[in-house]
C-alpha cells in the first residue's frame, strides 16, 4: 500500500517489521508510533487534517488485516483429533482400519440394560442416568455416612487430585446411590400432590478392587428409589420380585436377610431362587439354590430429611443391583473382565 504522507509511509514500514517480532500480534494496533502520527495531525492546517487522518486509518486497517490473515494461517494447520484411536499424522495406509458400524453390535450390557429399563417403565418408574464423577457430599454425606465412618471403606474408589469448594477430592462413584439425594430433592415437590417418587438410575460405577473373575474396577448398577405415603418393606419385596420374575420370565422365590447400609433402615440383602435349577443346586448358584443379588432397604429418615422430605409423613424404599451379574448369569459368562476387555471374540457372540 502506498501512503501519500512520508511520515505515514515510514511508520508503516516500521510497524510491519515490528509485527514480525511481536508475540501478541494485536499489540501492534496500540503501538506507540501511532502517537507521533496523531501529534503530527494536530500541527497540520485544517484542510489537510482529514486526508492525513484517513491515511493513519488506512494504516491501521492494513495492520489489522495482516494480523487476521496471520492468525488464519495458524487456524489452517491440520487439527489434531484427540478422539482418534491412532496418530492422525501417520501415513493413511498405515492407520488401523476402522470397521463399518454395520458390522458392530450392541454391547451385551447395554442390550440387557434396555430390557431392564423397559420393565421398570411398565411398572411406572422413570429413569435418570447417574454421573461418572461426583463429590463427597453425594457419595457419602447426603447418604448418612458420618465423616471418617468405617462404612466408607466398603466404597473405596478412585479420586481426583483436584478438590471441590469444600477442599474434598472429586470421586468416581462407587455406587449409583450417589444419585439418591439429587432424585429425592428434585421430585420432593410432587409428593404433596399425591404423586410418588419412582425413579430408576442406571450408571457406571468404579471400585478399587483386586481384579478377578468376579471383581472389576468398572461395572454397572441400577439403583431404584420409591417414596410415597405408607410405603413398607412389603412394597419393596413385591416390586423387586415382580421385576425379577418379568426379567427371567418365570415364577421365583425371594428372600431377604438383615444387612447394614448407612442409608437404609432396616437394610437387607436380597436373594432370588436360582432361575436355572429352581433351587436344586447348579454351577450358576454355587449349588446353594439361591443367588444373592442386591442390597436394599427402607430409606433412612436422615436421608429423606436431608432432601427436604418429612419422614413422619413419607416413607420409601431403595435398592441397588449390578447389571453385570444379571447378564453373566443369563448368558453363562464366566469372567466379568470380558465386558470391559473390548475383545471382538467376546463381543461377536452377542
Site for ligand DAH, rule CB under 6 A: 175, 177, 223, 261, 263-264, 295-297, 318-320
Write down the least CB distance from residue 120 to ligand DAH, Å: 14
Write down the least CB distance from residue 175 to ligand DAH, Å: 3
Distance CA 223, CA 316 (A): 13
Write down the least CB distance from residue 220 to ligand DAH, Å: 11
Give whichever of 12 and 135 is closer to ligand DAH, judged by the CB atom.
135
* φ, ψ for residue 285, nearest 5 deg: -100, 20
Write down the least CB distance from residue 177 to ligand DAH, Å: 4
Neighbours of 302 (CB within 10 A): 15
254 - beta bridge partners? Answer: 272
Write down the least CB distance from residue 128 to ligand DAH, Å: 14
Distance CA 278, CA 251 (A): 10
Give whichever of 226 and 247 is closer to ligand DAH, judged by the CB atom.
226
Residue count of the chain: 350
85 SS3 class:
coil
Give whichever of 243 and 261 is closer to ligand DAH, judged by the CB atom.
261
User: Where do we find the cell 433402615?
Assistant: 265
Write down the least CB distance from residue 261 to ligand DAH, Å: 4
Distance CA 136, CA 170 (A): 7
Distance CA 279, CA 78 (A): 63
Closest CA to 137 of 16, 306, 267, 258: 306
Residue 81 Rama label (left phi>0; alpha psi -120 to 50; beta): beta
Write down the least CB distance from residue 320 to ligand DAH, Å: 3
Establish how many alpha carbons lie within 13 A of residue 61's alpha carbon, considering only the half-sphere containing its beta carbon.
8
What are the cell numbers at 339?
Answer: 465386558
Give whichever of 138 and 175 is closer to ligand DAH, judged by the CB atom.
175
Pair type for strands 254-259 and 126-127: unpaired
Q: Crossing angle of helices 6-21/46-75, nearest 10°?
A: 20
Amino acid at each position: 500500500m502506498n501512503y501519500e504522507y512520508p511520515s505515514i509511509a515510514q511508520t508503516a514500514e516500521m510497524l510491519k517489521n515490528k509485527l514480525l517480532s511481536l508475540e501478541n500480534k494485536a499489540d501492534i494496533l496500540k503501538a506507540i508510533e501511532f502517537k507521533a502520527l496523531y501529534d503530527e495531525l494536530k500541527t497540520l492546517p485544517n484542510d489537510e487534517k482529514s486526508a492525513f487522518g484517513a491515511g493513519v486509518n488506512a494504516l491501521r486497517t492494513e495492520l489489522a488485516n495482516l494480523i487476521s490473515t496471520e492468525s488464519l494461517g495458524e487456524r489452517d494447520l491440520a487439527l489434531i483429533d484427540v478422539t482418534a484411536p491412532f496418530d492422525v499424522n501417520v501415513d493413511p495406509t498405515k492407520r488401523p482400519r476402522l470397521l463399518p458400524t454395520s458390522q458392530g453390535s450392541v454391547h451385551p450390557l447395554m442390550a440387557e440394560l434396555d430390557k431392564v429399563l423397559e420393565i421398570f417403565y411398565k411398572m411406572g418408574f422413570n429413569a435418570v442416568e447417574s454421573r461418572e464423577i461426583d463429590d463427597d457430599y453425594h457419595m457419602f454425606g447426603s447418604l448418612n455416612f458420618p465423616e471418617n465412618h468405617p462404612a466408607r471403606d466398603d466404597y473405596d474408589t478412585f479420586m481426583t487430585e483436584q478438590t471441590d469448594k469444600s477442599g474434598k477430592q472429586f470421586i468416581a462413584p462407587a455406587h449409583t446411590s450417589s444419585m439418591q439425594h439429587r432424585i429425592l430433592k428434585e421430585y420432593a415437590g410432587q409428593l404433596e400432590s399425591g404423586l410418588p417418587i419412582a425413579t430408576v438410575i442406571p450408571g457406571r460405577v468404579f471400585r478399587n478392587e483386586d481384579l478377578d473373575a468376579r471383581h472389576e474396577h468398572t461395572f454397572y448398577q441400577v439403583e431404584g428409589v420409591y417414596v410415597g405415603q405408607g410405603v413398607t418393606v412389603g412394597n419393596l419385596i413385591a416390586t423387586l420380585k415382580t421385576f425379577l420374575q418379568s426379567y427371567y420370565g418365570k415364577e421365583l422365590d425371594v428372600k431377604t436377610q438383615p444387612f447394614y447400609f448407612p442409608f437404609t433402615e432396616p437394610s437387607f440383602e436380597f436373594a432370588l431362587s436360582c432361575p436355572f435349577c429352581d433351587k436344586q443346586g447348579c454351577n450358576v448358584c454355587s449349588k446353594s439354590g439361591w443367588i444373592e443379588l442386591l442390597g436394599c432397604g427402607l430409606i433412612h429418615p436422615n436421608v429423606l430429611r436431608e432432601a427436604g422430605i418429612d419422614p413422619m409423613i413419607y416413607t420409601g424404599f431403595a435398592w441397588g443391583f449390578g447389571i453385570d451379574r444379571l447378564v453373566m448369569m443369563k448368558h453363562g459368562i464366566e469372567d466379568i473382565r470380558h465386558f470391559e476387555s473390548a475383545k471382538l471374540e467376546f463381543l461377536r457372540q452377542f
